[in-house]
Amino acid sequence: TQRYNNEIYKTANMPGVAVGLAWTYVGGDILFIETALSDGGKGELKLTGNLGNVMKESATTALSYLQSNAKKYNIEPETFNKKNIHIHIPEGATPKDGPSAGITMLTSLASAFTGRKVKSYLAMTGEITLRGQVLPVGGIKEKVLAAKRAGIREIIMCYLNEKDVNEIDAEFIKGVHFHYVKTMQHVLEIALT
Amino acid sequence: TQRYNNEIYKTANMPGVAVGLAWTYVGGDILFIETALSDGGKGELKLTGNLGNVMKESATTALSYLQSNAKKYNIEPETFNKKNIHIHIPEGATPKDGPSAGITMLTSLASAFTGRKVKSYLAMTGEITLRGQVLPVGGIKEKVLAAKRAGIREIIMCYLNEKDVNEIDAEFIKGVHFHYVKTMQHVLEIALT
Amino acid sequence: TQRYNNEIYKTANMPGVAVGLAWTYVGGDILFIETALSDGGKGELKLTGNLGNVMKESATTALSYLQSNAKKYNIEPETFNKKNIHIHIPEGATPKDGPSAGITMLTSLASAFTGRKVKSYLAMTGEITLRGQVLPVGGIKEKVLAAKRAGIREIIMCYLNEKDVNEIDAEFIKGVHFHYVKTMQHVLEIALT
Amino acid sequence: TQRYNNEIYKTANMPGVAVGLAWTYVGGDILFIETALSDGGKGELKLTGNLGNVMKESATTALSYLQSNAKKYNIEPETFNKKNIHIHIPEGATPKDGPSAGITMLTSLASAFTGRKVKSYLAMTGEITLRGQVLPVGGIKEKVLAAKRAGIREIIMCYLNEKDVNEIDAEFIKGVHFHYVKTMQHVLEIALT
Amino acid sequence: TQRYNNEIYKTANMPGVAVGLAWTYVGGDILFIETALSDGGKGELKLTGNLGNVMKESATTALSYLQSNAKKYNIEPETFNKKNIHIHIPEGATPKDGPSAGITMLTSLASAFTGRKVKSYLAMTGEITLRGQVLPVGGIKEKVLAAKRAGIREIIMCYLNEKDVNEIDAEFIKGVHFHYVKTMQHVLEIALT
Amino acid sequence: TQRYNNEIYKTANMPGVAVGLAWTYVGGDILFIETALSDGGKGELKLTGNLGNVMKESATTALSYLQSNAKKYNIEPETFNKKNIHIHIPEGATPKDGPSAGITMLTSLASAFTGRKVKSYLAMTGEITLRGQVLPVGGIKEKVLAAKRAGIREIIMCYLNEKDVNEIDAEFIKGVHFHYVKTMQHVLEIALT
Ligand SMILES: [Ca+2]
Ligand SMILES: [Ca+2]
Ligand SMILES: [Ca+2]
Ligand SMILES: [Ca+2]
Ligand SMILES: [Ca+2]
Ligand SMILES: [Ca+2]
Ligand SMILES: [Ca+2]
Ligand SMILES: [Ca+2]
Ligand SMILES: [Ca+2]
Ligand SMILES: [Ca+2]
Ligand SMILES: [Ca+2]
Ligand SMILES: [Ca+2]
C-alpha cells in the first residue's frame, strides 16, 4: 500500500483520474481510476485492469447515468456517440471486483468528459445507482486507514456509512475530512474542480 | 433489509423506477428496478446488477411485450429503435435471479417509456408472459413481510398467489393493501400514475 | 401441474400461442409456447424461458422450415427479414430441453406469422425435421396424462407414437382425441383455425 | 435403429436430403442430413441437431469446397452470398460428432444448391478435405450393418476402407452395392440424380 | 501414419496445399495444410480441423506476415480484403495444437494467394514470427522419421534445429535432403514452384 | 534462454520490434514483442502468442495511451482507424501473462506507428497506466540476469525498481546500463531511435 507515494500521485494530475478505495485480499488500498477518451469512436466502452463482472457493471451504470444526465453537467449529448471510452485501473496483477468503485468511476468519467480535474488528495467509495443515488458499502475502516496512509485528505461516501467512520479511533484519522452524501450530483459538486 | 429506509426511497421519485420483491439467501427483500433511456441508440438492452440468466430473460420478455403492445400504452413504436435501454438493479454485491421480477421490470420499462411515474409505496412480484399474463411465484410470505418492514403500502401479485397471502398472520400485514391480477395491463393500470 | 387451470388458458386466446407437452423432472406437464413479432426488425430470433441448447435448435429448425415453405402457408417471404421474432416459454424457474417441443414451436410461429389462432384445448408433442416430417418422442404416457389433467381435448403426435398411447389404460384418457401424423403440413392443418 | 423404416424414408424425397452413416454410443445408425436454403440471406450457415465441434467444422469445410468449385457443379457463385443455409440432422436428443459425416454434408449441400435429388436407398460415410479428397473413417462394420437393416442398397466410402468391408461376413451384406472413391467429385457423380 | 500413401498425396497437387510435420500423441506424423480462397469475402479467416488456440494463432500470424509483405511476394494488397480465406487440416478426429505448423501455414497461404504450387515431396516444420523469422521447434526426430516413412524427400526447418537432425542415425534418413533456414522469405523461395 | 542468440536478434532490426523481460515458470527470459500494421483496416487489434488476459489488457491500455497522445509523438490520429494492428509475442508454446510487458508493448506500437526503430541491445520491463506512468514490477533480479545473458546492454524500468537492482551482485551485471523512469514519454525518448 505504500507503492503510490505522493510523488507518483502528483505526476499525473490530469482530467480523467480519480482515486477510489478498495478492500482487497491484502487489506484496504487506494485505486487510481483512469479514463481516456479518443476520437473517431462510436461510444464503445473498454474496461481494463483485471476487473470482475460486478465492477464492469458499475462502469456501465456510471456511464449510463452520465449519459442520461449529460445536460445537467454541461456535456454535449452527441459526445457519447463520437468518442471511444477507456477506463483502466492500474496494478493489473491484482484482481478487483465489487460495486464500491461505482462513484469513483462516475467521477473519473465526468472529469474526462468535462475536462475538469478531480480535486487533489480526495478519495471516495460508494455504489452507484442509475437514478443518481450513492449507496453504502463495506470495509470502511480498512479503506479509510489505507487512504490516510496514502496521504488522502478528504473522503466521500454514503451518509449511511457515517456510523462506520464513527467506530474508528479518532486519532487514526486526524486531519482527514469526510463528506457524507446521498446523490451522485453531490459527489461531482465536491470532486470536480 | 433495513438499508433502504423511506428517506432513500423518496430521494429518487422519477419515471423508470419500480419496486420489486425478491427472495434472496438472506430472506425476503425489496429491489429497486431502474430503467434509463438514452438517445442515439438502436434499441440495445443493457442489463446490470449481478443478474442471472433467468432474470435477464425476464427483462427481454418484458421489453418484447411492451414493444408488441406499444400502441395500447401510447408509446411511439419507433422509440424502441431510437433509444438505448439500460435496466439496473442496485446492490451489485448480491447475485439475483429467477423470473419473479418480471412484472416489476415491465413496470419500470413502461414508466420510462411513457414518462409516467410509478405510484409511491407500491411493490410487486410476478412472472411475466409474452402474451400479457401474470404468473404466480414463490416466497410470498417472506417477500410480503420484507415489503411491510420497508414501508410498502400496496402490493401487486398474481391472483393465484392470494392463497399464499391468506396464510400470513393478518396482524403482520395490517395496513398493506393487496392487488390480485391476471394481466400485465391490469398491473400497469394500477402502477402508473 | 395444476398451475394452469382452464381459466388462465382462456385469458390469452390470441395468435402465436400453442400448447406443448413436456416431460420435466417433476413428471409430465403442459407448456405454453408464445411467439411475438415486432416491427423494425431484421429476422432476429430471440428465445427465452430457460431453454437448453437442443430446444433452442428446435426453434431454429422450425423457423427455417416455415421460411422455406412460406408460400405454401400464405406468408410473404419478406416478412421474415422485416420482423423480429421472440419465442418465450413461461415458467422460467424450470429448465427445459429436448427436441419434443419442435412441432409446437412451429405451430406457435405459424400462428403468429399467419395471424390464425391455434385451436382451443389442443396440445401436441413431436420432433421436427427441416424437410417437414414429424418424428416420435419419448415420455408419451406422462405427457398425455398431464394434458388430460389440464383439460386438453385433442393431442397431435407422430404416428410412430401411436403404440405408446395404446399402452395407456383407456379410462384414464377418455374424451381425449388423438391425431397421428407424419408431416408438419398435417400438424398445421389440424392446429390452425 | 429401426426408427426410420422405409416409409418415413420415402416421405421426403426432395433435394437437400442425404443419408449418412454414424457410429453412436448405441452402435451403428443412419443419419438423415437435411439442407434448406432461404432467400434474403448473406451466406450465413446455421447448423442444428446437437452437433459437436468437429462435425460443425466438417460442414464448414464442405461448404468451402462447394463454393470454391461452384462452376464445376453448375452453381452460380453469387448464390452463396444471397442465400442463408441451414443444415440440420434430426434426432436432436442424440449428440453427434466426428468427421465422418463430411461427404454426406457435401452431398446434402450440393443437392440443395443444384436442385438435383440424391439417389434413393443410397448412404455414405467419409471425411472430406478442402481440396476434394475422401478420407477413410472408422466403425465401418457397424455402420454398414445399420445401413443394411435400414434398407440401404448402395454405400459410398473411401477406397482405403474397402479392406474393412471385406472383413464383414458376406451374407450379412448381400444385396448392398459398394462404391469405393477417392474424390468428392466422384461422390457427387454417384449421388446426384 | 501410413494412411497417406503417395497415391493420395499426388491426387491433389494444387495451389494452397503444403505438408507439415506434427508430433501427436501417436508419435510423429505428416499434416496436409489446405487453403481455399473464395470470392465475395471481406478477409475473414476460417480455421478448421480440430485446431487448438496456439495453432489458430499461428495461422493468424502467418496471414498478418503475408499481408504486411504482400508486395514482396507479388500479391495485390487489396486481395486480402476481397477474399474469404479457409485453412483446413484434415483428420478432424485428431486434436492438433502448438506453434510448429506456423511456416507450413504460411506456405499454404502464400501458395493459394500466388497460385504457385508447393514443390512435391517437400515437408516443413517451424514456428513463425511476425517479423519473418523461423524459430526452432521440438520433436524433430519423430517428425523427420514420419516424413521419411511417408515418402517425403526434402524438409525445411530452422537452422537452430540442425543439431537435432544430426543426432538421428544417418541410415534412417538416407535420401532426405534438409534445408536449414532463418527466414520465412527463404522458406518460400524453396517451397513455391 | 539461450535460444535467441545475438545472431537471431540482429536478423530483424525493423520498426515494430521491442525486447521485454519476462518471468516465466522456467525463470527470467527475454521476450520479443512484434507489431505489424496493415492497410484497409479499421483499428482492430489482434493479439497472438499465447497471452493471458492481463497481458492482453496491457496491450489495449498501451494502444489507448498512444492514441490519446498521438500528436505528442507525431502520429496522425486517423491512422488508428485506418490500419489493422497485430501484436505478436513469439514462442507460442509458452503461456505468458501479467502486466509487466506493458511498456514494451507501448514501445513496439510506437515504433510501428512512427516508423522509428527501437534502439539495439535495449530491453525494458514495467506496467503501464493510461495516464502515462510507469509502475514497478516484480522478478527484477531474474529478468535482469536473463537480459545480461542474452546480450542486452541497456534496461529501462520504473524508478521504484531501482532498489531491486541494487540488491543484485554488481559483477553479475557489469556493462549493463539502467534507465530509471517515471513516465512513458521518458521510455519512448530513450527507446526510439
Ligand atoms: Ca496498491
Ligand atoms: Ca471506490
Ligand atoms: Ca437490500
Ligand atoms: Ca419482483
Ligand atoms: Ca407447469
Ligand atoms: Ca411439445
Ligand atoms: Ca436413429
Ligand atoms: Ca456419414
Ligand atoms: Ca495421419
Ligand atoms: Ca509443421
Ligand atoms: Ca525464450
Ligand atoms: Ca516487459
Residue type, B130: L
The whole-angstrom distance between D131's CA and the closest CA on chain E is 7
Edge to edge, what strands does the sheet with C27-38 contain? C45-48, C84-88, C27-38, C17-24, C122-124, C154-158, C177-181
Task: Quote the pLDDT of residue B3.
Answer: 47
Residue C78 touches chain D, beta carbons under 8 Å? yes
Q: Give the minimum alpha-carbon distance from B85 to chain C in angstroms, rounded to a whole number.
A: 16
Mean pLDDT of chain E: 92
Reference A56, options A85, A17, A19, A96; nearest CA is: A96
Q: Which ligand number lies closest to the CA of residue F106?
A: 12
Q: Of the spans B8-17, B48-57, D35-44, which averages the highest pLDDT?
A: B48-57
Q: Is F34 on the interface with E (CB under 8 A)?
A: yes
Residues of A in contact with B92 (CB under 8 A): 54, 57-58, 98-99, 102, 127
Q: How far does the centroid of ligand 10 lie from the alpha carbon of residue E126, in Å?
A: 6
Q: Which of B17, B37, B47, B88 should one mutate to test binding to chain A, selecting the residue with the greatest count of A CBs within 10 A?
A: B88
Q: What does the pLDDT look like over D140-169, one tens digit per residue? A: 999 999 999 999 999 999 999 999 999 999
Confidence of residue C184 (pLDDT cuts 50, 70, 90): very high
Residue A160 C-alpha cell reads as 449511511
For residues A49 and A133, the answer to whether their CB atoms sit within 8 Å is no
> Is there a contact between A160 and B3 if contact means CB atoms under 8 Å apart?
yes
Q: Which of B164, B104, B166, B170 is CA-nearest to residue B140? A: B164
E143 is catalytic: yes
pTM tops 0.95, yes or no: no
Is E77 at the interface with chain F, CB within 8 A? Answer: yes
Residues whose Cβ atom is located within 5 A of ion ligand 3: B 3, 29
Question: With b meaning 16 or more CB within 10 Å and e meaning fewer, what string describes C22-61?
Answer: bbbeeebbbbbbbbbbbeebebebbbbbbbeebbbbbbbb
pLDDT category at C45 given cuts 50, 70, 90 is very high
Please give, one letter per residue, the 3-state secondary structure of chain B.
CCCCCHHHHHHCCCCCEEEEEEEECCEEEEEEEEEEEECCCCCCEEEECCECHHHHHHHHHHHHHHHHCCHHHCCCCCHHHHCEEEEECCCCCCCECCCCCHHHHHHHHHHHHHCCCECCCEEECCEECCCCEEECCCCHHHHHHHHHHCCCCEEEEEHHHHHHHHCCCHHHHCCCEEEEECEHHHHHHHHEC
Q: Is B40 on the interface with A (CB under 8 A)?
A: yes
Q: Are D114 and D40 in contact (CB under 8 A)?
A: no
User: Over chain B, what is the mean pLDDT?
Assistant: 92
Q: Please, are residues E66 and E75 in contact by the beta-carbon 8 Å criterion?
A: yes
User: What amino acid occupies position B96?
Assistant: K
CA distance E129 to E131: 5
Alpha carbons within 13 A on the beta-carbon side of B104: 29
Is the per-residue pLDDT at F6 higher than 70? Answer: no
The answer to whether residue B132 neighbours chain C at the CB level (below 8 Å) is yes
List, for residues F99-116, the tens digit of each pLDDT value: 999 999 999 999 999 999
DSSP string, E120-168: TTEEE--EE-TTSBEE--S-HHHHHHHHHHTT--EEEEEGGGHHHHHTS
Over residues C141-151, the pLDDT tens digits come to 999 999 999 99
Q: Number of H helices and number of E strands within chain C? A: 7, 9
Contact F48 E67 (CB under 8 A): no
Mean pLDDT (whole number) for B111-117: 97
Query: Residue D107: is its pLDDT beyond 80?
Result: yes
Asked if F77 contacts F67 with a C-beta cutoff of 8 angstroms, the reply is yes
d(CA F70, CA F47): 21
Three-state DSSP class for residue E179: strand
Is E1 an interface residue toward F (CB < 8 Å)?
Answer: no
- Do the chains contact at B129 and C92, CB–CB below 8 Å? no
- For range E84-93, the mean pLDDT: 94
Residue in the block written with cell 454535449: A76
pLDDT in tens, B28-43: 999 999 999 988 777 8
Q: What is the mean pLDDT of chain F?
A: 92
Q: Is E56 among the catalytic positions?
A: no
pLDDT tens column, D63-94? 999 999 999 999 998 899 889 999 999 999 99
User: Cβ separation of C98 and D92 shorter than 8 Å?
Assistant: yes
Question: Mean pLDDT in chain A?
Answer: 92
pLDDT tops 50 at residue B46? yes
